Amino acid sequence: MIKINQLEKQKEKILLVGNHPYIIQSVLDFDYLSEKEAPSIVAILGNYDGFSKYFWGDREILLPIKKDLDTFEEKEQIRWFLSLSSGRRVLESGRMLADKLPNLKGGAFFAENVPEKHAIELFHLAQEKEFLFVGPASIGLLIPGVLKLGPIGGVTAEQIDSAKIVEKGGVALMAASGGMTNELINVIKQQDLRLSFALSFGGDRFPMLTTKDAVLLAQNDKDTKVILYYGELGGVDEYELIELKEKGELTKPVVIHIGGTVADLFPESPQFGHAKAKASRQDERAEVKRKELKKAGFFVSSKFKEVGNLLKKAHE
Amino acid sequence: MARQKLTEFQAKEILSSKIKFRFNSFLADKGTTAIEIEKKFKTKALVVKVDQGVKKRGKRGLMKVKVTSRECTSFIRRVSRKGYSNFIIEEFIPHEQDDEQYMSMERVREGVKILMSPKGGVDVEDSMNLIKEYVIDYKLLASDSKLRKKLDELFADKVKASLLFDLIQVFEEYYFSFLEINPIVFKDAQIYLLDLAVEIDDAALNLIPTPVEIVEEANVSEAEIEVKRLDQNTPASLKLKIINPNGSLWMLLSGGGASLVLADEVADLGLGKDLGNYGEYSGNPTREDTYLYAKIIIDEMLKASSKKKVLIIGGGVANFTDVAKTFAGIIDALDEKSADLKKQKIKVFVRRGGPNQEEGLSLMEDFLKENDLFGFVSGPDLVLTGIIQKAIKKA
């Protein structure tokens, strides 16, 4: 498995797949504010060969657009991709990237509406080749000063600056929800703490990165002192945390908030915003997960406003 | 996006194209006459069921067994009044309770999980120890010969092995996520699917061989249908569930996760009964989409009979949803109804962050103050759920 603290600030180069100007610019702003020597984005994979105009600080720069990876000589530098392709194309494009990028370490899939079957195929591909894939429907992966793979942490330079996401700290953040990832970055900042890394699993039923692998990523990261985890009703991923703790594979403190107790107001659990957010069984209910996690000795908040204090406590 | 239910009729129709079972079902609604039913079934004994993805129909009085065509139509008329509109009629298959078996399939990370029990029927869970679980590895799903070999190894009963093979073919081809036959009856060299439930992966709807329609939930309000329609026509996400049409707390929330956390706060404070709605907008909707969405919720709030009402515009720190743009859309909707809102003395409480938050928040604050709707406006310095506390003091 990849070691987050061994990644190299100047060498983690990215291939952008698809076009989302404000997300691309936010990666460049992050690089610039992290005082990197050069942009982390090597090229944009598109429908034609050409260039696209962006800013590096105040200076205009041109990012190359490539339509074919076979003839792209600098592809050896690429360690990561950020896929902004549509849901239907994710499987095909994921397989192609895995095949054509010889030094690939991982990538993030932004698209929603990826069929479950396709996400599962890519999950197995990642397991087999030891890639760190996050998504689908993920706002990405963030390692302060090193890597911003998606809109995670914001898309304007002001956001990146005020959220303090270029300064490295000791909190590893992982969340099912993209919006809550950013909200919790805000909570961490308010406690005057900083991130070791942050990622959003995406709210789909089968995230390519499992809860277990994400937690182990934090456990094995030298910089991480405490883990902050946000989960929701639906699915049983959180029980993996209990299993890891019981086996002694997870020793770092984990602060957890589980959303979705509101579902109990309905006669039958409705489908909430995220595809996975629906409890069909008792153990998928938010209340039950909170109770079981608490019993296993995790720092579990019963109200969201407690998260900040628990985090401070766990960090000490 | 999510797993969606198919009607039993449609699920059987799909299965019948690949699998040999006794498919003799009739789709009925309020307008169906006894004569139409008799045309298909003559004078056979019948079963009539609500066909809208509802669970536990037997226990909830949403099905009737061993009835005549006339009893079918009167059942349909009666149950229609509870808000149901789709029904399925089938011939009644006489069988012993002991003939009822259970079979289900679910997509899991490892492949397809199969559950089987020789004792099916409504109380299948009472005989947990009889339920056997098998997981078919995802790698086998793509190869006919390997899959067949595996199923033959697992199941000595050739009829079952072959049925499972065919079911998995359909399961894969149609991107099913879940399939449950309970009970399934094997009788006189025939297979009867007495009750079938299927969930399909709606992210794959344009990858399947024939188009399907997702089940229409019963008892959905006009407002919810309108939001659903909006949601289908935008790349952003727009959701609405009315909880209490006469509630006092109305919410315009953003983000799948933050909206849950905010609604949880209300429920955890024991104020669930006052909650008018749950919903969320996210994925950077346009000003126009946000306006249309907000208008629907504001209209519902204005209709509510509660005396003291508040509107909570709450959300986390957005990654990429433009706060200024979406707030402009909400202000458009508030502006249109500002006279009514004022008349009902409704106050608006706001907490939000994200791209262009300063501009969005100050636009909102100015508008609310000018129109006497101001409750509270805050950026991300206030803890996310703090806005609920502020609002309920006024409600």
What are chain B's domains? 23-91 (3.30.1490.20), 97-204 (3.30.470.20), 222-394 (3.40.50.261)
Inform me whether the pLDDT recorded for B1 exceeds 70.
no
Percent of chain B having pLDDT more than 70? 99
- What's the pLDDT tens digit per position in A51-91? 999 999 999 999 999 999 999 999 999 999 999 999 999 99
pTM: 0.94
Taking the CA atoms of A78, A81, A84 and A86 in sequence, report the sign of the dihedral they define: positive
Dist CA B56 CA A94 (whole Å): 41
Q: From B189, B7, B151, B190, select the one nearest B88 (Cα to Cα).
A: B7
Inform me whether the pLDDT recorded for B394 exceeds 90.
no
> Phi, psi at residue B384, to the nearest 5°?
-40, -50
Dist CA A23 CA B240 (whole Å): 28
A118 is catalytic: no
Dist CA A188 CA B241 (whole Å): 32
- What's the pLDDT tens digit per position in B64-111? 999 999 999 999 999 999 999 999 999 999 999 899 999 999 999 999
A260 closest CB neighbour out of B109, B264, B385: B264
Across residues A219-227, what is the average pLDDT?
98
**B239 touches A: beta carbon within 8 Å:** yes
Q: From B210, B211, B214, select the one nearest B200 (Cα to Cα).
A: B214
Q: What letter does residue B22 receive in the DSSP assignment? A: -
The per-residue pLDDT of chain B, averaged, comes to: 95
The per-residue pLDDT of chain A, averaged, comes to: 95
Mark yes or no for CB contact B237/A268 under 8 Å: no
SS3 A6: helix
Residue B162 C-alpha, separation from nearest chain A C-alpha, in angstroms: 23
Inform me whether the pLDDT recorded for B126 exceeds 90.
no
In the beta sheet, which residues pair with residue B281?
A: B238, B254
Mark yes or no for CB contact B268/A268 under 8 Å: no
Residue A29: the pLDDT is: 98
Mark yes or no for CB contact A177/B275 under 8 Å: no
Instruction: Tell me the chain A residues in contact with residue B265 when contact means C-beta distances shorter than 8 Å.
Output: 303-304
Taking the CA atoms of A29, A33, A34 and A35 in sequence, report the sign of the dihedral they define: positive
Residue A218 sits in a domain of what CATH number?
A: 3.40.50.261
CA-nearest residue to A140 within chain B is B319
Place of tokens 């998260």: A307
CA-nearest residue to B351 within chain A is A183
Dist CA B307 CA B296 (whole Å): 20
Q: Which helix (H) or strand (E) holds A126?
A: helix A116-129
Q: How confident is the model at residue A3 (pLDDT cuts 50, 70, 90)?
A: very high
Instruction: Tell me the chain B residues in contact with residue A155 when contact means C-beta distances shorter than 8 Å.
Output: 319-320, 355
**Angle at CA A140, nearest 5°, toward A135 and A145?**
150
**A203 touches B: beta carbon within 8 Å:** yes
Of A237-246, B125-134, B238-247, minimum mean pLDDT range:
B125-134
Q: How confident is the model at residue B385 (pLDDT cuts 50, 70, 90)?
A: very high
Dist CA A20 CA A52 (whole Å): 11
Across residues A217-226, what is the average pLDDT?
98
Residues 140-169 of A with CB under 8 A from B: 151-156, 159, 163
Across residues B260-289, what is the average pLDDT?
95
ipTM for the whole complex: 0.94
Across residues A249-270, what is the average pLDDT?
92
Q: From A235, A175, A252, A244, select the one nearest A212 (Cα to Cα).
A: A244
Other Cβ atoms closer than 10 A to A169: 20
Q: With left for phi above 0 and alpha for psi between -120 and 50, is residue B45 left, alpha or beta? A: beta
Instruction: Tell me the chain A residues in contact with residue B258 when contact means C-beta distances shorter than 8 Å.
Output: 177, 179-180, 183
**B319 touches A: beta carbon within 8 Å:** yes
β-pairing, B100-108 vs B176-187, is: antiparallel
β-pairing, B374-378 vs B347-353, is: parallel
> Phi, psi at residue B121, to the nearest 5°?
95, -175
Domain count, chain A: 1
- What's the pLDDT tens digit per position in B331-377? 999 999 999 999 999 999 999 999 999 999 999 999 999 999 999 99
> Phi, psi at residue B33, to the nearest 5°?
-100, 160
Residue B244: the pLDDT is: 95
Dist CA A4 CA A7 (whole Å): 6
Residue B212 C-alpha, separation from nearest chain A C-alpha, in angstroms: 16
SS3 B176: strand
**B197 touches A: beta carbon within 8 Å:** no
A151 closest CB neighbour out of B257, B319, B386: B319
Residue B253: the pLDDT is: 97
Dist CA A46 CA A61 (whole Å): 18
- What's the pLDDT tens digit per position in A186-206? 999 999 999 999 999 999 999
In sequence order, what are the residues at sequence separation of 6 or more whose Cβ sits closer than 8 angstroms to the Cβ of residue B31?
A: none
In sequence order, what are the residues at sequence separation of 6 or more whose Cβ sits closer than 8 angstroms to the Cβ of residue A248?
A: none
**B383 touches A: beta carbon within 8 Å:** yes
Among A20, A124, A257, A274, the active-site one is A274
Range of the domain at A82: 4-315
Residue B242: the pLDDT is: 95
Residue B6: the pLDDT is: 96
Dist CA B372 CA B345 (whole Å): 9
Instruction: Tell me the chain B residues in contact with residue A300 when contact means C-beta distances shorter than 8 Å.
Output: none
Mark yes or no for CB contact B260/A272 under 8 Å: yes
Residue A291 C-alpha, separation from nearest chain B C-alpha, in angstroms: 15
> Phi, psi at residue B76, to the nearest 5°?
-60, -45
Taking the CA atoms of A102, A107, A113 and A117 in sequence, report the sign of the dihedral they define: positive
CA-nearest residue to A233 within chain B is B260
Mark yes or no for CB contact B256/A257 under 8 Å: no
SS3 B39: helix
Inform me whether the pLDDT recorded for A145 exceeds 70.
yes
Q: Which helix (H) or strand (E) holds B115?
A: strand B111-117
Q: Rounding to the nearest 10 degrees, give the CA dihedral for residues B306, B310, B315, B317.
A: -170
